[in-house]
Homo-oligomer: A and B are copies of this chain.
Amino acid sequence: MHNPQLHSDGRLKHLLSIEGLPKRILNDILDTAESFVGVAEREVKKVPLLRGKTVCNIFFENSTRTRTTFEIAAKRLSADVLNLNVSTSSQSKGETILDTVNNLIAMHADMFVVRHNQSGAAHLIAQHVPDHISVINAGDGRHAHPTQGLLDVFTIRKYKPDMHNLRIAIVGDVLHSRVARSEIHALTTLGVPEVRVIAPKTLLPTNVEKLGVQVFHDMRAGLKDVDVVMMLRLQSERMTGAMLPSPQEYFKTYGLTHEKLQLAKPDAIVMHPGPMNRGVEIDSSVADGLQSVILPQVTYGIAVRMAVMAILAGGGQA
């Protein structure tokens, strides 16, 4: 079957989801990202790899936070960046997504960073654009958010380079998470032998075991001797329904506290994709504690996005 994310010669064409990316591509992105980590520490934080290129952040769903990371990455690559918040404009005039995209193609845009609240929007656009244009999925519904997954894997590799010897726990709302599924895939592809998910039944997809993970409903059992604790954000809009008791009760059972963290290995790292609900899925003292790598995740997120853009634009390291 043709892989829509790859050129016929095997190079990366779009980044739509981690599923379907061969190990070789994953490692190429991670290795290229290494070269961009240093750019952010230079006096002049810019490289000319995308000079004269037009990167369009098309956000059908507002997210200042995610848009900012892509905007910084593109500007540090010297691209011209256009931010389009489409929900409030053309869409309300009845223009279809593809008409909007067609117009930007006609304006000679080079790259689309797409955020949409419906699964498959980035795929739809990728199917549609001509060969010289690349699409990056910046989150589509509950489906995927691949640069988040990649930066998580990059962070793990930075702190725990021997991926073949890790035990990783993913904790929380796996059901609604855009990243959990991708992450599981990336981690197993890169050779991590043991991935656990820890969640109440109501927050797990059916047949989650088929992804190759071990399932725990008891957090204390699940955290035992892990090297990495990846907390997931609890969507506040889910908290009101029947799925969950109160945030306080959730915190009691699945919130990461210093006390629970002590069940993991002494040098375990703590991750969170942000934005955090302090006191709901994670205690502040853990979020800001010595084992937390939550802010390095953000730093590496810029390097990973620069790497993805540079590779899609034809390659080149920093």
Contacts and interface: CB of A to CB of B under 8 A. Distances in A.
B44 A299 contact: no
Counting chain B CB atoms within 10 Å of each CB, the highest count among A41, A65, A84, A276 belongs to A65
Contacts of A46: 51-52, 80
Interface in A42-74: 42-46, 51-54, 62-65, 68-69, 71-72
Count class of interface residues, chain A:
35 or more
Nearest to A86: B64
B40 A44 contact: no
A310 interface: no
A302 B108 contact: yes
Given A95-B275, A276-B95, A64 B44 contact: no
Counting chain B CB atoms within 10 Å of each CB, the highest count among A41, A94, A275, A299 belongs to A275
Counting chain B CB atoms within 10 Å of each CB, the highest count among A44, A68, A84, A276 belongs to A68
A51 B44 contact: yes
B40 A108 contact: yes
B65 A299 contact: no
Interface stretch (A6-14, A99-107, A183-191): A99-107
A87 to B, nearest CB: 10
Given A274-B99, A275-B99, A295-B106, A94 B236 contact: yes
A98 to B, nearest CB: 10
Given A103-B298, A296-B106, A93 B52 contact: no
Interface string A85-127: 1101110011110010011111110000000000000000000
A108 B299 contact: yes
A88 B62 contact: yes
A262 B62 CA distance: 44
A277 interface: yes
A45 to B, nearest CB: 5
B52 A45 contact: yes
Given A295-B103, A296-B106, A90 B275 contact: yes
Contact of A103 (B51, B65, B84, B90): B65
Nearest to A53: B45
B68 A107 contact: yes
B52 A43 contact: yes
A75 interface: yes
A94 B277 contact: yes
Given A82-B71, A106-B299, A299-B106, A275 B93 contact: yes
23 contacts: A40-B107, A44-B51, A45-B52, A46-B51, A54-B72, A62-B89, A64-B90, A68-B82, A68-B104, A68-B107, A75-B80, A90-B275, A94-B275, A96-B278, A99-B275, A99-B278, A102-B298, A103-B298, A106-B296, A107-B299, A107-B301, A107-B302, A108-B299
